[in-house]
Amino acid sequence: MRFDTPAGTNPIDQLKVVGRATSRIDGKFKTTGTAPYAYERHDVVPNQAYGFVVGAAIAKGRISAMNVEDAKAAPGVLAVVSTLDYAKPLPLGKMNIAHLFGGADVAHYHQAIAVVIAETFEQARAAASLIRTDYARSPGKFDLAREAADAPIAPASDKTKLPIDKVGDFAGAFAAAPVKLDQTYMTPDESHAMMEPHASIAAWDGDKLTVWTSNQMIHWSKGSLATTLSIPEEKVRVDSPYIGGGFGGKLFIRSDVVLAALGAKAARRPVKIALTRPLMMNNTTHRPATIQHIRMGATRDGRLTAIAHSSTSGNLPDGKPETAVEQTKLLYAAANRETYMKLATLDLPEGNAMRAPGEAPGLMVLEMAMDEMAEKLGVDPVEFRILNDTQVDPEKPGRPFSQRHLVECLRTGAEKFGWSKRHATPGRVREGRYLIGMGMAAGIRNNQLTKSAARIKLERDGRLTVETDMTDIGTGTYTILAQTAAEMMGVPLDRIDVKLGDSDFPASSGSGGQWGANNSTAGLYAACVKLRAAVARQLGFIEADVQFADGKVTAGGRSVDLRDAARGGPIVAEDGIEYGTLDKQYQQSTFAGHFVEVAVDGYTGETRIRRMLAVCDAGRILNPKTARSQVIGAMTMGAGAALVEELAVDKRFGFFVNHDLASYEVPVHADIPHQEVIFLDYPDDKSSPMKAKGVGELGLCGVGAAIANAIYNATGVRVRDYPITLDKYLEKLPEMS
């Protein structure tokens, strides 16, 4: 199905099932421990052996020798596969830049250099410790601040664009502006820190490979694995029905699945591998650190006339920058604009997508700068943002937003949060030993349109089975797909069976970039349209007149039980959604207003978040219950980014020191006592037939800055270097009487 114009009569608009708060249908499996995650799938193939991955002990250089003989002779060992077994690195699949395996060169610390396969995990781990490796270490670049000055401007991802995006005359407008801001800000390297590790089981059946793994993008991964192993794509099956968190870290294949496949071939046994936490943090991907420079010029009445934003980040050779300037191109009106990114070569583990890549670190900076500019102007931060709102793409004025209710997000949030009670002068509100402050920020995250397909089958007994390679990374995908099928086919939710994550199913959008919900349900919508037509024909109805409700098919005064259509055998329909040029006609984005109250201990500097509010504009909300869960999780992640999360780089030896969950700190329930989410819930008919948009990453976008702004309002101390740990402001706190 091609969708590039608004839908007419749409069964989804009945809203009997879609749009209702619905408990996750996979919840009972998660809460009872019966949902099979990748490493736990003991029954998918018999005789599973265990693999243990060995990571490089240096960050840059070359392996000069490796002795694996003692490991091979250790008890229970079935095989040892070494990177030196391959003359050069294995080829990489879609969007992978990391050196996954093969050859003697070491590109980063904990790069996989060997895997030991044994009868038990303990035997594999013990044997791995017997491998002896000699290295020729090379000088490496591990310090972003040191490399930033000489970092080149990153090339544009689109060859038709220039590396520097310019509109108007920024330099002239900035020089002439009566009120100016010119500041530099920093965000750190961060880890995805999802609960489930990267894990895989691999089994060969002749020349055919099946992997049961934890991965967000099944279609990508099937192609990438085929490329890496140099086998035809049709010889690879990827299965990933349950995923214990990903946040972008499982968008691409990593060393666990590659080494499980290689190990299984060498041992002639199915092999299972889970990466240890240190390997997850150094061997896989992370959110790269940034150094961001923002300049703003405004008239004295608060209208922005000029805005420039540059960001410097680092990555391995052939890597891409953290796109932290993207939201600045869209969020506020200013006639004169300049944005660009610089990319330094660093010999650290690969920097790549992490929840809301670009906007998450970019808004931590832009929205702090907006507060600083509002203070210079003497304008309330909420009103300053409203004053500079725009209903068209400010860099492409002929392209309107499909919908943009940012002003309503901000006004609603201000009213519900009690923003009028905020004291504009920092450091003035105290409760005993605590300094109290409020902060806010705007959020934006684009709505990406991605083709997606599904299959739906009407069984003889009247049940409906949905099949798509779409994944559920804890987001409620099983539930919203079941809701979509139930709405379209007019049956109760308990008559829908949803099967996900298998590459034998039609290729979906996958989970990432908050595009999964809208696109995967739209793909299923298309399949349901085709099934409705097939059922109508089977029952002798005219397709245009037919209605599906209460388990019956009705038209022209005649009503037939839906299951009667499949008496002669199941009816199967498969289709997908494609959008044509719709995203070129309209700028499609989601928006949020974030509000936070903090209490800072005036003696110790400890920050406690008291309450948080997010007001979200994200099209139709398909399931308010699961959507709220996504947003409060993202808000919590934003609190971590603002206050505690940082991968500490050893700049001598080039690795992340705090590479476990004991020393990489993340927020817990006790850190945030109260969170509230409000959805505006305006269906967007230019987004998809579902009229929905993504929301899971929007909940993160802007949260960090809202917390930073609240800390400033509480203390009067501005910290422009995240995370805002107490050592950065303790000595500057106001005197406590």
Q: Find all residues with CB under 8 Å of 122, minimum gap 6, and list them.
A: none
Distance, in Å, from the CA atom of 354 to the CA atom of 337, rounded to the nearest integer, reads 27
How far is the CA of 393 from the CAs of 328, 332, 686, in angstroms? 11, 9, 16
Q: Find all residues with CB under 8 Å of 100, minimum gap 6, and list them.
A: 89, 90, 92, 112, 228, 253, 254, 255, 258
Tokens of residue 360, six digits: 């998450």
Secondary-structure breakdown of the chain: helix, strand, coil percentages, each rounded to the nearest 5: 30, 25, 45
Active-site residue (options: 383, 676, 697, 731)? 697
Distance, in Å, from the CA atom of 643 to the CA atom of 645, rounded to the nearest integer, reads 7
In 134-169, which residue ranges form alpha helices assigned H by DSSP? 144-148
Distance, in Å, from the CA atom of 275 to the CA atom of 269, rounded to the nearest integer, reads 19
In 419-552, which residue ranges form alpha helices assigned H by DSSP? 477-489, 516-539
Furthest CA-CA distance within the chain: 84
How crowded is the C-beta side of 662, counted as CA atoms within 13 Å? 3
How far is the CA of 382 from the CAs of 2, 75, 330, 375, in angstroms? 40, 67, 18, 11
Tokens of residue 268, six digits: 């002639």
Question: 16 in helix, strand or coil?
Answer: coil
Q: Confirm if 447 and 590 have CB atoms less than 8 A apart.
A: yes
How far is the CA of 136 from the CAs of 57, 104, 342, 655, 727, in angstroms? 11, 10, 31, 17, 39
- The DSSP bridge pattern shows strands 271-274 and 49-55 to be parallel
- The DSSP bridge pattern shows strands 132-137 and 607-617 to be unpaired
Q: Confirm if 181 and 716 have CB atoms less than 8 A apart.
A: no
Starting from the edge strand earliest in sequence, which strands make up the sheet with 496-500, in order? Answer: 496-500, 464-468, 452-458, 571-577
Active site residue 697: yes
Q: How many other C-beta atoms are found inside a 10 Å radius of the C-beta of residue 188?
A: 19
Place of tokens 């008291």: 610
Strand intervals (E) in 190-281: 199-205, 208-213, 236-239, 271-274
Q: Which pairs with CB-CB distance under 8 Å and at least 24 residues apart come from 6-9? A: 6/685, 6/686, 7/685, 7/689
Q: How many other C-beta atoms are found inside a 10 Å radius of the C-beta of residue 49?
A: 25
Closest CA relative to residue 535, chosen from 547, 525, 523: 547
Closest CA relative to residue 444, chosen from 383, 362, 551, 349: 362
Q: Confirm if 282 and 659 have CB atoms less than 8 A apart.
A: yes
Angle subtended at Cα 414 by Cα 406 and Cα 379, rounded to the nearest 5 degrees: 85
Asked whether the CA dihedral 642, 198, 52, 257 is positive or negative, the reply is negative
Q: Which residues are the active-site residues? A: 697
